[in-house]
Amino acid sequence: MKADMEHWTGRLTALAAECGVPGASLAWWSGGELSACATGVLNTATGAAVRTDSLFQIGSITKVWTATQVMLLVEQGRIGLDTAVADVLPGFEVGDRRATDAITLRHLLTHTSGIDGDLFVDTGRGDDCLARYVEACAELEQTFPVGDSHSYCNSGFVIAGRMIEQLTGQVWDQALREQICVPLGLTHTWTLPEDVLRFGAAMGHGDDGKPAPAWGLPRAIGPAGLICATAMDVVAFGRAHLTPGALLADPAALRIPQVDLPNPYDGGRQWGIGWCLDEWDGHEVVSHTGDTIGQHAALWALPGLDTVVAVLVNGGRSAEFQHRVISELLRSLHQLTVPEPLAPPAEPVCVDTAPYTGLYERAGSRIRVTSTPGGLRLRTEPTGILVGLAHPRTLDLIPVDASTFAGRVDGDAMWSAVVFEYRPDGPTYLHYSGRATPKTG
C-alpha cells in the first residue's frame, strides 16, 4: 500500500518542531516500496530548504560501509577476518607491542581491539592521509587487553580503511565508489567536500540552534565516519544487506553476533561485523547511528520484515526525534513496538556509589564522576582536537541496579544508560556511549 506522504511529511515537521530540529530527511523501504520526505532547513543562516535529495553527514554509519568493503574482499579470498593487521600493514604498531602483534581485522570491525578509539588527528588532505593516521596510532594505549571487551573504536576503522587501500591499490574514497556506490547506483553518496558541495548539503547545528563552528572532520577519519548521502541512498545501501547477491553473496554473515555488549541498554545487545544487533518486539534489528559536528544519522534494518529506515538530522534533540520517528513509523507499518530507553525505576534503589566516584579517561574524553544525594553526577569534557567542537555535558545518574544507572542532560527527554564494571584484577570501567573508559584516579 502506497504511503501517505502528506501525513508523514506533516508528522516529520511536527516532531522536528517539538524536538528543536532545524532540518531532517526520512526515507524507508517497506512492502516493496521506497518512500521519502523532508522538512526544515539545511542551514539556519541561509534558510535553504531540506529536500529529499539533500545530503547529510551520516557519520559512523560509514563504518558499516567500510565493513562491507572488507567483507567483499573476504568473499573474494583476498583477506581473512582473522588476518593480523601487521601482516597487511608493514610497520603497523600501537603503544603495546603484544597488542600490535595480536590485533586482527575481526577485532577492528567488532570494536574489540582494546586500543584507545577516539584519535581525531588531522593528517592533511592528501591521498596519504590514512597512512599518516596509522603512523600516529603508534602512540595509542590499550583501554583493555585485545579481545577482552568491547569499546567503540573510531581508530580501528581508519586502520581497516588503510588495509582496504593496501589490498585494492586505491585510496579509500575511490575504493568505496568502485566497491559499493557504483554497483548500487548511489549517485548522491560522497566523501569529499568538493563533491558534496555540488549538491544541497546540510550544516550541523549546536545546542543553541546556531550553525556549528565547523562543517566536517579531517579527511583521515573517512572510513570511520565521513560519508555524506541522502536518506534514500542510505536506505538503498541498507536494502543491499537484506538481499544476497545485491552486493555481498552472504550479507547475513555481518549479522552473526561476535561480542556481547557490556552496556546492553545503549543501542543493542550484541555487535556483529559492523552492525549493532538487537531484537524489537520479537523481530531481528540491525542498526547503526552516526554523529559528526552537529549532525546525527540513524539507520535500522529489519531483515524479517524487509524494512529499512534512515533518519538524517542536522541538530536539535536528535536522539529523541529519531526515536519518536522510528517508533511511529514501525507502529504504522508493522504494528511493532520499539522498546523505550532504560529509565529510572518507579521505586528508588539504594546503591553504594562510593566505588564508582573518581576520574575516568581515554583519548578524546575526560569523565569525572561524583556522588549526589540521589546517585551520581557524570560530567564529560572533550580533550584534544575535539575541544571547541564537542561540548561538556553533565548527567545526573539515578541507580537502576547495583551497577547500572540512568541519566539525562537537562532539557532532554531521552534517558541514557551508564554501566559500571568492577574488575578485581584491573581498573573499574565506565561503559557509556559505547565506550569503555577506565578509571584513572
Q: Average pLDDT by consecutive 10-residue portion of the chain (441 residues)?
A: 88 98 99 98 98 99 99 98 98 97 99 95 97 97 96 98 99 99 99 97 95 96 99 99 98 98 96 99 98 98 99 97 98 97 93 95 93 95 74 92 92 90 90 96 89
Q: How far is CA 84 from CA 81, 130, 384, 427, in A?
A: 8, 18, 29, 27
The whole-number pLDDT of residue 412 equals 79
Residues of the chain with CATH 3.40.710.10: 1-339
Task: Please state the separation of Cα 46 from the chain's center in Å.
Answer: 28
The whole-number pLDDT of residue 384 equals 74
How wide is the angle at C-alpha 69 spanned by C-alphas 79 and 229, nearest 5°?
A: 170
The whole-number pLDDT of residue 423 equals 87
Question: Rounded to whole angstroms, how far apart are CA atoms 179 and 176?
Answer: 5
The whole-number pLDDT of residue 426 equals 82
| 3-class DSSP state of 34 | strand
The whole-number pLDDT of residue 363 equals 85
**Are 39 and 316 a contacting pair, CB within 8 Å?**
no
Domain 354-438, what fold? Answer: Lipocalin (2.40.128)
- Is 60 a residue of the active site? yes
Residues of the chain with CATH 2.40.128: 354-438
Intra-chain end-to-end CA distance of the chain, in Å: 58
CATH (residue range 1-339): 3.40.710.10
Spell out the SS3 assignment of the chain.
CCCCHHHHHHHHHHHHHHCCCCEEEEEEEECCEEEEEEEEECCCCCCCECCCCCEEECHHHHHHHHHHHHHHHHHCCCCCCCCEHHHHCCCCCCCCHHHHHHCEHHHHHCCCCCECCCCCCCCCCCCCHHHHHHHHHHHCCECCCCCCCCCCCHHHHHHHHHHHHHHHCCCHHHHHHHHHHHHHCCCCEECCHHHHCCCCECCCECCCCCECCCCCCCHHHHHHHCCEECHHHHHHHHHHCCCCCCCCCCHHHHHCCCEECCCCCCCCCEECCCCEEEEECCEEEEEEEEECCCCEEEEEEEHHHCEEEEEEECCCCHHHHHHHHHHHHHHHHHCCCCCCCCCCCCCCCCCCCHHHCEEEEECCEEEEEEEECCEEEEEEEECHHHECCECCEEEEEEECCCCEEEEECCCCCCCEEEEEECCCCCCCEEEECCEEEEECC
Which helix (H) or strand (E) element contains residue 75?
helix 62-75
Contact residues for 89 (Cβ-Cβ < 8 A; gap 6+): 134, 159, 162, 163, 166
* Annotated catalytic residue within 54, 60, 151, 155: 60
The whole-number pLDDT of residue 388 equals 64
**Are 23 and 50 a contacting pair, CB within 8 Å?**
yes
The whole-number pLDDT of residue 424 equals 85
Question: Rounded to whole angstroms, how far apart are CA atoms 36 and 288?
Answer: 19
Residue 66 φ then ψ, to 5°: -65, -40
The whole-number pLDDT of residue 1 equals 58
The whole-number pLDDT of residue 392 equals 86
Cell numbers placing 369: 564522576
